């Protein structure tokens, strides 16, 4: 069984998808992490996130492994390393390249062949798993998503500026929604959930109830 959760950055998709997978005893797949892996690997190899030719070359030789919510690039574990701001913005740049998307779609489908999964991203219900049995689209206002990210960073003792975060979220939303291939949008058969005024536990309960039907 495949459950897809799509939506823009900062809606709490990842947290909810991970918790839902745990409740159902499914594997959890964070597909954004795979795009981040390519962006991180570009930085490691001094390849600009705008250099499509070199990025496609790197993508064709790199080995990406996702297991138990941890990520390896050519045997180096990068689970935490891919969370920097530089990698975050780079991921949305490499994600506009069709060869990169094709390669990562293959990785995602292979993972889903082997087990039941809850998979989250931008195109899971629309492109990668159009036949998924259960699809969700999670949204929240850009201001609320920026507020959550701001709190997360400051709670970790990091320096953060709300306006800058909001600007970055809008920039990523714009790029994800307007790109030519696999633009961010809900699948026609996805259940839409707005989490602006909902606590993650409430979202999780809603998803679980629907998934178990
Ligand atoms: O979800 P996360 O913020 O980790 O995703 C990083 C970037 O990867 C997104 O901004 C988006 O551009 C890209 N992405 C994508 N398709 C997916 C998952 C992520 O294009 N299925």
Query: Distance (Å, rounded) from C-alpha 189 to C-alpha 131?
Result: 10
Assign 156 a pLDDT band (cuts: 50, 70, 90). confident
Residue 176 Cβ contacting ligand 1 at under 6 Å: yes
Please check whether the two domains, 1-26+116-207 and 32-113, share a CATH topology.
yes
For 11-38, give one letter per residue: b (16+ CB within 10 A) or e: bbbbebbbbbbeebebbbbbbbbbbbbb
- Tell me how many degrees the CA angle 82-87-88 measures, rounded to the nearest 5: 100
Atom number in ligand 1 closest to CA 36: 6
ipTM: 0.99
Give residue 89 CA to ligand 1 midpoint distance, Å.
Answer: 10
pLDDT for res 33:
97
Residue 187 pLDDT more than 90?
yes
Question: CATH number of the domain at 32-113, please?
Answer: 3.40.50.300
Return the residue whose CA atom lies nearest to atom 2 of ligand 1: 32
Q: Where are the domains of the chain?
A: 1-26+116-207, 32-113
Does ligand 1 come within 6 angstroms of the Cβ of 92? yes
If one looks up domain 1-26+116-207 in CATH, what number appears? 3.40.50.300
What SS3 class is residue 118? strand
Average pLDDT over residues 34-49: 98
172 pLDDT exceeds 90? no
Is residue 158 scored above 90 in pLDDT?
Answer: no
């Amino acid at each position: 069984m495949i459950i897809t959760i799509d939506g823009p950055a900062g809606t709490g998709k990842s947290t909810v998808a991970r918790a839902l997978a745990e409740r159902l005893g499914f594997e959890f797949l964070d597909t954004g992490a795979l795009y981040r892996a390519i962006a991180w690997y570009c930085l490691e190899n001094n390849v600009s996130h705008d250099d499509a030719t070199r990025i496609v070359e790197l993508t064709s030789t790199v080995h990406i492994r996702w297991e138990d919510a941890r990520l390896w690039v050519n045997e180096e574990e990068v689970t935490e390393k891919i969370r920097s701001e530089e990698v975050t913005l780079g991921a949305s740049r490499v994600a506009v390249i069709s060869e990169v998307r094709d390669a990562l779609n293959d990785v995602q489908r292979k993972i889903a062949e082997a087990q039941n999964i809850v998979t989250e991203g931008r195109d899971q219900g629309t492109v990668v798993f159009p036949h998924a049995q259960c699809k969700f689209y999670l949204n929240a206002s850009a201001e609320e998503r920026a507020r959550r990210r701001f709190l997360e960073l400051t709670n970790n003792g990091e320096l953060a500026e709300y306006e800058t975060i909001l600007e970055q979220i809008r920039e990523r939303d714009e790029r994800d929604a307007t790109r030519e291939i696999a633009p961010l949008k809900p699948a026609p058969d996805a259940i839409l959930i707005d989490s602006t005024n909902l606590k993650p536990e409430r979202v999780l309960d809603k998803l679980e109830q629907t998934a178990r039907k």
